[in-house]
Amino acid sequence: MKFLSSLLIVFIFVGCGYKPSVKYTRKVLGERIHVNVSISRKDPKNSVLIKDAVNEAVIGRFGASLSDEKSADTNLYVTIGSTSFTPTAYDADGYVISYKAKVTLKTKYTTKTGKTKSFTTIGEYDFPIEANSVISDTKRFEAIKYASMDAINEIISKIAIIGQITGGNNFPKKERIYLK
């Protein structure tokens, strides 16, 4: 019985034309990617964290390998646009007990053929703190890490959508990709 249910699931995915997003991102970016994350003078620790997260996404989520700039199929440039913390919840005495971290990443990629695409992504992460306290460096660092990973997931989604729309060959004349 387990075999039949497993076989049915395989047939459903194969029959409906399901393809993982990695296939679409590879069509756009290729197999070898060079990552360049601009180090922010205001926040160098987080810049290094974001660089590591982007490198991890290239290997794990794009299914590609890291390369030097000259031999890469695509050069991926990421810059931290901004980071902010906004209170989202208060206790009965009016003290902040929850924040939302928001990270804006500006991304640009250039393929070997000279095609260039730029876009901005925003990642968010909600986290609690103790009432009547400030955000510790550990909480701040962790919140920016998770918000950055959310923004990187949005980068992956946008590139996969471009790959699906264009088949990886040409960029549409004017495309608007809204992910909400």
Measured between alpha carbons, how far is 67 from 140 in angstroms, rounded to an integer?
31
Sheet holding 65-66, edge to edge: 65-66, 32-37, 74-90, 96-111, 116-128
pLDDT tens for 105-134 read 999 999 888 888 999 999 999 999 887 778
Measured between alpha carbons, how far is 60 from 52 in angstroms, rounded to an integer?
12
What is residue 24's three-state secondary structure?
Answer: helix
Instruction: Give the pLDDT confidence score for residue 39 in this predicted structure.
Output: 78
- What are the start-end ranges of the H helices in 16-119? 21-29, 44-60
As a dihedral over the C-alpha atoms of residue 150, residue 152, residue 153, residue 154, rounded to 10 degrees, the angle is 90
Over its C-alpha atoms, the chain yields an Rg (Å, rounded) of 20
Instruction: Give the pLDDT confidence score for residue 170 in this predicted structure.
Output: 52
Measured between alpha carbons, how far is 35 from 107 in angstroms, rounded to an integer?
11
Instruction: Give the pLDDT confidence score for residue 87 in this predicted structure.
Output: 94
- Sequence letter at residue 138: T
Residues lower than pLDDT 50 in the chain: 172, 180
Instruction: Give the pLDDT confidence score for residue 168 in this predicted structure.
Output: 61
Measured between alpha carbons, how far is 105 from 122 in angstroms, rounded to an integer?
6
Instruction: Give the pLDDT confidence score for residue 180 in this predicted structure.
Output: 47
